[in-house]
Amino acid sequence: MTNQAESIRVGVLGARGRMGLEVCKAVDAAGDMELVAMLDQGDELFKASEAHAQVFVDFTTPDAVMDNLRWAVDQGISVVVGTTGFTDERLSQVREWLAAKPGVGVLVAPNFGLGAVLMMQFAARAARYFDSVEIIEQHHPRKLDAPSGTSTHTAHLIAQARAEAGLGPMPDATKEEVDGARGADIDGVRVHSVRAAGLVAHQEVLFGSLGETLTIRHDSLDRVSFMPGVLLGVRKILERPGLTVGLDSFLD
């Protein structure tokens, strides 16, 4: 149980990675948190329970995250997850683990940037009014996965909004002469992944209809952009048992 007067004891998984390093700094600087464990590949997770971590923050890899989550939930440690690679099957699995551990919370957020959360909400709102929509996500070239978790989540939201509005497939007479030329098809929404040195994390959602286009764009220019969202997740997760997907409900 949390004593609200005390600091929240936080363990960071992936602590030597690009995001993990930034999270360690942010937690360390937060007056209401204590950084009790910094773990990376090869470190034993039990060190975090020995340090009495109440919340884990996981920014590791899609290959590693499920084992970390399983272990944390079993130990009764709540988790704020930024790592990508969450399919519906993975989310169902996490729900199953949590069902046996009432009181434990897991937040899986495809993007902790507050602007990115709004960009996804705006895109979902615009989706019903346009014939066409495509997503262009742009990231640094050391990113391991494509398409990004953010673009996949955005595509799901847009597809859901289009279906609810009764919209059919988008107009598109193009024959793909080279595989991949039209990007990935996620729930009927084309997603194009750009990787280039100098980029951090960027996404455009391009809508089109008769005689007009609407572009909704978000840019993370520095990984500090994710920290207010991560800290919000850490502060709220102890009061939110079960699985929460996306930061949206924590912002309300």
Ligand X SMILES: NC(=O)C1=CN([C@@H]2O[C@H](COP(=O)(O)OP(=O)(O)OC[C@H]3O[C@@H](n4cnc5c(N)ncnc54)[C@H](O)[C@@H]3O)[C@@H](O)[C@H]2O)C=CC1
Q: Say which entry of ligand LZUJQKHR, ligand X, none residue 139 contacts (CB below 5 to 8 A, set by partner kind).
A: ligand LZUJQKHR
Greatest C-alpha distance within the chain: 62
Nearest to 19 by CA among 250, 222, 196: 222
Q: Cis (ω within 30 of 0) for the bond into 147?
A: yes
Alpha-carbon gap, residue 146 to 48, rounded angstroms:
31
Q: Say which entry of ligand LZUJQKHR, ligand X, none residue 105 contacts (CB below 5 to 8 A, set by partner kind).
A: none
Sole window of 3-11, 89-97, 107-115, 164-172 interacting with ligand X (rule: CB under 6 A): 107-115
Under the binding rule (CB under 6 A), the answer on residue 218 touching ligand LZUJQKHR is no
What sections of the chain are H helices per DSSP?
Answer: 18-29, 46-50, 65-75, 88-99, 114-126, 149-164, 227-237, 248-251
Alpha-carbon gap, residue 222 to 187, rounded angstroms:
30
Site for ligand LZUJQKHR in 56-115 (CB under 6 A): 84, 110-111
Exposed/middle/buried for 172, CB within 10 Å: 0-12, 13-18, 19+?
exposed
DSSP lists the bridge partners of residue 11 as 37, 56
Q: Say which entry of ligand X, ligand LZUJQKHR, none residue 183 contacts (CB below 5 to 8 A, set by partner kind).
A: none
The distance from CA 12 to its chain's CA centroid, rounded to whole angstroms, is: 16
Residue with the CB atom nearest ligand X in the bound state? 17
The distance from CA 237 to its chain's CA centroid, rounded to whole angstroms, is: 15
DSSP lists the bridge partners of residue 37 as 11
Q: Which of 59, 86, 130, 207 binds ligand X (CB under 6 A)?
A: 59
Q: Side chain identity at 146, as an amino acid letter? A: A
Under the binding rule (CB under 6 A), the answer on residue 117 touching ligand X is no
Is 139 a catalytic site residue?
yes
Site for ligand X in 145-174 (CB under 6 A): 149
Under the binding rule (CB under 6 A), the answer on residue 138 touching ligand LZUJQKHR is no
Site for ligand LZUJQKHR in 187-216 (CB under 6 A): 201
Q: Which of 54, 111, 151, 203 binds ligand X (CB under 6 A)?
A: 111
Under the binding rule (CB under 6 A), the answer on residue 149 touching ligand LZUJQKHR is yes
Catalytic choice (47, 52, 101, 139) = 139
Pairing of strands 105-108, 8-13: unpaired
Shortest distance in whole angstroms from residue 14 CB to ligand LZUJQKHR: 11
Is 156 a catalytic site residue?
no
Q: Which of 49, 54, 78, 84 binds ligand X (CB under 6 A)?
A: 84
Alpha-carbon gap, residue 117 to 2, rounded angstroms:
28
The contact set with ligand LZUJQKHR (CB under 6 A) reads: 84, 110-111, 139, 143, 148-150, 201
Residue ranges binding ligand X (CB under 6 A): 13-14, 16-20, 39-41, 59-62, 64, 68, 82-84, 109-112, 149, 226
